[in-house]
């Protein structure tokens, strides 16, 4: 396994739409995809982060890795702690139009955080490394990280989704924000 270089905002790879990974459902993916996924997980954990999309490591493929740390999971349905997961060719569907505001950061935009609206509940699907279909419903941090990483596959950064740029801050300055920053405007 290897720790890979993470593309930072401004690199063109982050503004390109990722290509689907060729696969046969039910058949394991090739060794190079397994190796890439392992390297992505190691890179995400080393960063440290809770999600990473292939374009962030200079690969234009529809692959994401993510986790839900115990201290960030609410414990509610769809938002429980999860170890590192791999999804190939993921897609999502919102379960309602309800959105929630929350702070997000990005390994490709180090040192900054912003308040971003995301769907409160989603259903997503994709394939694991054995070619098996994975389908889940998600809420809370789980739903937020999936939406964030799928945005990377479609050339979208969280800054593109921010409705209020006054809620963009350096991580060190977050102490000046209160719960008021999360109220819808």
CA distance 64 to 33: 12
**Which listed CATH number (3.90.45.10, 3.10.129.10, 3.40.50.720, 1.10.3720.10) goes with 12-95+121-156?**
3.90.45.10
Per-residue model confidence (pLDDT) at position 21 = 97
At 133, which helix (H) or strand (E)?
Answer: strand 133-139
Contact 49, 91 (CB under 8 A): no
Q: Where are the domains of the chain?
A: 12-95+121-156
CA distance 161 to 118: 9
Is 19 tagged catalytic? no
Question: What is the secondary structure of 69-128 as a DSSP string?
Answer: -GGG---STT---EEEEEEEEEEEEESSS-EEEEEEEETTEEEEEEEEEEESEEEEEEE-
Per-residue model confidence (pLDDT) at position 1 = 78
pTM exceeding the 0.85 threshold for the entire prediction: yes
* Residue of 19, 104, 137, 149 marked catalytic: 149
pLDDT digit string (tens) for the chain, length 185 residues:
799 999 999 999 999 999 999 999 999 999 999 999 999 999 999 999 999 999 999 999 999 999 999 999 998 889 999 999 999 999 999 999 999 999 999 999 999 999 999 999 999 999 999 999 999 999 999 999 999 999 999 999 999 999 999 999 999 998 888 665 454 43
């Amino acid at each position: 396994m290897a720790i890979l270089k993470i593309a930072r905002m401004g690199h063109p790879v982050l503004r390109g739409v990722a290509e689907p990974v060729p696969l046969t459902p039910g058949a394991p993916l090739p060794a190079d995809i397994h190796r890439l996924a392992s390297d992505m997980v190691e890179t995400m954990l080393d960063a440290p982060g809770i999600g990473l999309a292939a374009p962030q490591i200079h690969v234009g493929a529809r692959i994401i890795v993510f986790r839900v740390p115990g201290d960030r999971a609410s414990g509610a349905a769809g938002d429980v702690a999860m170890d590192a997961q791999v999804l190939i060719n993921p897609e999502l569907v919102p379960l309602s139009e309800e959105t929630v505001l929350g702070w997000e950061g990005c390994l490709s935009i180090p040192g900054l955080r912003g308040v971003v609206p995301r769907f409160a509940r989603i259903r997503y699907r994709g394939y694991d490394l054995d070619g098996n279909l994975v389908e889940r419903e998600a809420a809370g941090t789980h739903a937020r990280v999936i939406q964030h990483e799928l945005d990377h596959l479609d050339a979208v950064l969280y800054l593109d989704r921010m409705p209020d740029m006054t809620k963009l801050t350096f991580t060190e300055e977050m102490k000046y924000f209160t719960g008021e920053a999360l109220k819808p405007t």
